[in-house]
């Protein structure tokens, strides 16, 4: 397990998981840079970081805009003279049946959830490749392996990120850059269910959700261990296996979920 002290960590998205991840890395002695499209989230994150990272860099930036991502990443690398770790976390949900979601809404979600990671990674690689060192951690989701009804487009964006992670890991190995996928399950106390318009967090399903701090701890563990994959909780390991072994049962269960959690 690597000592992370002094490492420069760039994180996209300052919501529940993002701010907790920044705090977890700050406690490890890292230099932390955090971006978000909303200034209020950044203010809340700065308060949370407090004494652990008073020099933290925060910037309002839209991950779907490549030029904004480059400016953010360059600012972090410029402040500390290096870039060691990128955490692609920024994403949002949209919990509605496919027939009720417009194509423009789907495109916008793709631009944030998938292209946001593309833009940030390309910007980070401009610093990591010359150094022949670095680590990219992509926050994927268990739905990349087992999609959830009424969140099909969100699952598709995460499946795309999952595929990109696998190919990047192979392509960048020769350059000394490692790539990790972290697979959380549903996480409570974030903006996900608010932005997706779902009341799932107010149902019995809440019992099976993780806290943002648990996901953040897994991301830090991934950075320290440099494992290619890290699953958060038993569900993220078990559900894809169930899909492979019991396809009929999973199909029936998903049909019920589609009716109940609209």
Q: pLDDT confidence of 147, banded at 50, 70, 90?
A: confident
Distance of CA 218 to the CA centre of its chain: 11
For residue range 11-64, list pLDDT tens digits in order: 999 988 999 999 999 999 999 999 999 999 999 999 999 989 999 999 999 999
**Over 80: is that where the pLDDT of 188 sits?**
no
Q: What pLDDT is recorded for position 36?
A: 98
Domain contains 89:
yes
Short-list 106, 169, 163, 182, CA closest to 135: 169
Report the 10 Å Cβ neighbour count for 43: 13
Q: How many domains does the chain have?
A: 1
pTM of the model: 0.88
CATH of the domain at 156: 3.40.50.720
Set 52, 92, 114, 154: catalytic member = 154
- What phi and psi values does residue 183 have, to the nearest 5 degrees? -115, 95
Domain contains 3:
no
Distance CA 219, CA 77 (A): 21
Domain contains 2:
no
How does strand 31-36 pair with strand 85-88? unpaired
Domain contains 36:
yes
Residues spanned by the domain of 87: 8-260
Domain contains 1:
no
Range with the poorest average pLDDT among 109-118, 152-161, 181-190, 204-213: 204-213
3-class DSSP state of 35: strand
For residue range 189-247, list pLDDT tens digits in order: 555 655 555 665 555 554 556 688 899 999 999 999 999 999 987 665 666 666 666 66
3-class DSSP state of 226: coil
What are the DSSP calls for 46-65, one per residue? Answer: HHHHGGG-TT-EEEE--TT-
**Over 80: is that where the pLDDT of 113 sits?**
yes
Can 154 be counted among the known catalytic residues?
yes
């Amino acid at each position: 397990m690597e000592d992370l002290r002094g490492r420069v960590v760039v994180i996209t998205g300052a919501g529940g998981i993002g701010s907790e991840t920044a705090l977890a890395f700050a406690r490890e002695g890292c230099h932390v840079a955090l971006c978000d499209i909303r200034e209020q989230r950044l203010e809340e994150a700065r308060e949370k970081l407090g004494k652990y990272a008073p020099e933290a860099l925060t910037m309002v930036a839209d991950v779907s805009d490549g030029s904004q991502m480059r400016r953010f990443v360059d600012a972090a690398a410029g402040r500390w003279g290096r870039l060691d770790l990128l955490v692609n976390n920024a994403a949002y949900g949209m919990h509605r049946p496919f027939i009720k979601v417009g194509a423009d809404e789907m495109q916008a979600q793709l631009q944030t959830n998938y292209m946001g990671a593309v833009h940030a990674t390309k910007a980070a690689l401009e610093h990591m490749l010359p150094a022949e060192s670095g680590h990219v951690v992509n926050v994927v989701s268990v739905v990349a392996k087992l999609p959830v009804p009424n969140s099909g487009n969100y699952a598709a964006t995460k499946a795309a990120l999952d595929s990109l992670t696998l190919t990047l890991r192979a392509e960048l190995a020769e350059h000394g850059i490692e790539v990790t996928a972290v697979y959380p399950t549903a996480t409570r106390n974030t903006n996900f269910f608010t932005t997706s318009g779902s009341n799932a967090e107010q149902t019995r399903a809440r019992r099976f959700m993780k806290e943002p701090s648990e996901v953040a701890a897994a991301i830090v563990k991934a950075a320290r261990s440099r494992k290619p994959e890290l699953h958060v909780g038993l569900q993220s390991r078990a559900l894809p296996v169930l899909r492979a072994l019991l396809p009929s049962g999973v199909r029936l269960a998903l049909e019920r979920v589609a009716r109940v959690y609209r």
